[in-house]
Copies of this chain bind each other. A is one copy, B any other.
Amino acid sequence: MADINRQILLDQIPQGRLGREHFRFNEAAMPKPGDGELLVRTRYFSLDAANRAWMSGATYRAALSAGQLMAGGALAEVRESRAPGFAPGDLVFADTGWQEYAVLSARHLIKLQVTEPITYLLSVYGVAGLTAYFGLLECGKPKPGDTVVVSAAAGSVGMMVGQIAKIKGCRTVGIAGGAAKCALLTEELGFDKAVDYKAGDTLRALRAASPEGIDVYFDNVGGDILEACLFNMKNHGRVACCGAVSQYDTGAPHAPRGVPGLIVTKRLTLQGFLVMDFMAQRERALADLKGWVQNGQLKVREDIIDGFENLPAALIGLLAGENIGKRLVRVS
Contact = CB atoms under 8 A, between A and B. Distances in A.
A161 interface: no
A259 B242 CA distance: 12
Contacts of A265: 58-60, 272, 274
Contact of A241 (B255, B257, B263): B263
Contact of A244 (B242, B244, B261): B261
Given A243-B264, A261-B247, A270 B269 contact: yes
B272 A269 contact: yes
Contacts of A58: 265
A265 to B, nearest CB: 4
**Identical copies in the complex:** 2
A84 interface: no
A277 to B, nearest CB: 6
B277 A267 contact: yes
A283 to B, nearest CB: 22
Nearest to A223: B260
A267 B273 contact: yes
Nearest to A247: B261
A219 to B, nearest CB: 6
Nearest to A274: B267
Interface string A287-329: 0000000000000000000000000000000000000000000
A259 B261 contact: no
Interface in A31-86: 53, 58-60
A233 to B, nearest CB: 10
A58 B256 CA distance: 18
Interface residues of A, number: 34
A253 interface: yes
A253 B260 CA distance: 11
Contact of A273 (B243, B253, B264): B264
Contacts of A219: 260
A250 interface: no
A271 interface: yes
Contact of A260 (B222, B262, B277): B222
A266 interface: yes
Contacts of A253: 257, 261
A59 to B, nearest CB: 4
- Residue among A219, A265, A268, A277 with the most chain B CB within 10 A? A265
A219 B260 CA distance: 9
Contacts of A242: 264
Kindly list the 7 A-B residue pairs having the minimum CB-CB distance in the complex, ordered from nearest.
A255-B255, A263-B272, A264-B272, A59-B265, A241-B260, A270-B270, A241-B263
6 contacts: A53-B261, A222-B260, A244-B260, A255-B258, A260-B270, A267-B274
